[in-house]
Each structure stands twice: as C-alpha cells, then as structure tokens.
Amino acid sequence: MRAFIVITVVFIMPALSFSTTYYVPDHFSKIQTAIADASVVNGDVIIVRDGLYHENLDYLGKEITVKSENGPAVTIIDGGGAKPVVRFANGEGAGAVIEGFTLTNGHGEYHPIAFGCGGGVYCSNYSSPLIKDNLIVNNYAAYLGGGVGAVGDTSGKTSPVIQGNTFSNNRTGLYGGGIGGIYSNLTIQNNIIETNRAAHGGGICIQYDSTVLIENCTLFNNVATGGYGGAAFSHVSADSAEIRNCLFYNINASGHGGGIFVRTPTVVSNSTFFCNSCSTYGGGIGHSCDPNDLQVTDSILWANSGYPGYEQFGWAGGSGAQSVNY
C-alpha cells in the first residue's frame, strides 16, 4: 500500500495599504471637514474642485495630500484675515502636502518666539510639509513670514520644503515678507518671490540657528523698509545658507545689502544680482560675516547701487570692501 503525503503550502501575502481619494465638495462640503474626518488617514488624497473656499485649514498631524483639481487660478482658499490660511503645527512630516491653490487673506498666528507668524502658511512644532505649486498672495504676519512662516525652537527644527510657488504682495512688520524662518531648516526651490515687503528681508529672512537652500528662484521688486535686502540671513550658532541658480532683480533695502545681506556662512553660485539698491554697503551683496565665510562663484553682479565704492559688494563689518571672486 502506497502512502501519499499531502503538503499544503500557504502563501502569506504582505498586507497592502492603498490610499483613498476624496473629493470636495462631492464627499465633504468643506476642505477642513474632509481633513478632520476619521475616515481620512495618512496617505489619503483630498482633491478640491474649482471654487472659492472661505476656510482656515489645519492638518491635525495627518500625512495627507490636499490638492486642487485644476490649479490656483480657479481654486482659492480665503483665510478671512484672522488666521493662517493653512496650518501645520502638529509635527506633520513630508507626507503632508498642500498643492495647487491660491492662498490669500491669511493672518499670522501667535507663537512664543515669533509672536505673529505665517500669514499664508504657518509651520511649527517640528513640522516638515511640502508646500507646492501655490499662489501665495496678499497675506500678513506681524513678525515673521507674511507668506510662509516656519518656527522651531532650541529643541528642534521646523523643516518645510517650499517648491514651485509664486509669492506676491505678502507683508510682515519685521522679518521675511515672502518667507521667514526661525530655528528652521528650509528648502526653497523653483519659486517666484516678488513684490513682498518687510522691515528686513523683503523676499526672505532666515534667522537664529537655521539653515536654508535657495535654488532656481527668482526674487524681484521686494522691499526691505528697515534694513536688509531681498534675502537676509542672520547668525546664531551654526547657521548656513546656500544660494544656487537664482536671480535677484530690482530689490531695494533701506540699509545694507540690496540683493542679499548675510551674517552667516553662505555659498552663492551661478546667480545674478541686477539693478538692486541699498543706501549703504553692498547694492548687490552685503555682509557682516567673516569674509572667509562668504563664497561667491560663477555669479554676475551688475548695475547695482549702494554707497559709492560699495555698489556691487560691501562689507558692513568695518572699513574697506572685502574682495570676492564673482
């Protein structure tokens, strides 16, 4: 008698997770209602149909994508002038995305360090969202970042990635009309930053133990009414800044550095500074850091204006302009 042994082979498939796509107003009447709903979980996508939405969005710690169906020209979120239009304040990571909207009429939120921060988009508590392909226009913050404000603290950094946006007509009373950061690591790529206004850093201002990469950006017609120019970087601890492939054009500062003013180790490459102006040192580039901490290579400084002898480049740390290979 022949015995047969039957071997049962069980294939255990790994659990697969699939994102769910929701539509506003099809599935939810409001964008914030969709974000807050318990059925919307990390990895899900909320697509917003064309229209004007009077809302203030809070991602509530969720790693979700909120994007317009047809772009910022036809999908507008109006913050009502009282709060930030979009809020990332619960440690959201790179999976939290806001994409393809006009974000307008926002007002900065109080923070113990920044007081009034992030009129268009407010980032705090170590969040690191992706802010992509939006028109961020006509927002205000009293202290930091009229368009986007990012603030961390001595325990950790807030690290937004800001890509492909247009910043226009944003204002702040102090730092960074378009974008501002304190205790933050910012990646700023492929943006247009124009006609923004602040006391320091009409376009961008980064301060206090922060790092920033500005790449493939165009900054023009920004105004610094109280001091420093199109982009300003201040120095505490291990700050650093890198600027690559950028254009700084027709930016005005009442003090130092028409195009940019730096106080921290900074690398500038393949960039153009044209027709910027200031009343003192460095119509194109001004600085007060150690001259060895500023590297400018393969760049053009042309037709900038400043204090005679310091039209293109100037050192505000003492007598005499420092030499830079540009």
Confidence tier at 9 by pLDDT (50, 70, 90): very low
The more confidently predicted of residues 270 and 231 is: 270
CB 239 within 8 A of CB 267: no
Assign 134 a pLDDT band (cuts: 50, 70, 90). very high
Give the span between the Cα atoms of 121 and 147, in whole angstroms. Answer: 6
- Give pTM, 2 decimals: 0.91
Round to whole Å and give the CA distance between 66 and 96: 8
What is the predicted pLDDT for the residue at 222?
95
* Cα angle: 214, vertex 217, 220; to 5 degrees: 115
Dihedral of alpha carbons 291, 294, 299, 305, sign:
negative
210-263 residue pLDDT tens: 999 999 999 999 999 987 888 887 644 447 899 999 999 999 998 888 999 988
Handedness of CA 69, 75, 80, 86 (dihedral sign): positive
Distances from the Cα of 125 to the Cαs of 84, 235, 272, in angstroms?
15, 22, 35
Instruction: Please tell me whether the peptide bond between 308 and the residue prior to it is cis, using omega within 30 degrees of 0.
Output: no
Handedness of CA 83, 89, 90, 94 (dihedral sign): positive
Determine the Cα–Cα distance for residues 34 and 50; give it in Å rounded to an integer: 16
pLDDT at 293: 83
320: Cβ–Cβ under 8 A, 6 or more apart, which residues? Answer: none
How high is the mean pLDDT of the chain? 89
Give me the residue label for tokens 């202290």: 143
Does residue 185 have a pLDDT over 70?
Answer: yes
| Stronger pLDDT, 291 or 153, i.e. the higher one | 153
Higher pLDDT: 51 or 15? It is: 51
Taking only the tens place, the pLDDT of each residue in 16-45 is 458 999 999 999 999 999 999 999 999 999
3-state secondary structure of 161: strand
Residue 307: both structure tokens together? 């204090």
pLDDT tens, residue by residue, 42-91: 999 999 999 999 999 999 999 999 999 999 999 999 999 999 999 999 99
- Please give the backbone phi and psi of residue 36, each rounded to the nearest 5 degrees, phi first: -80, -20
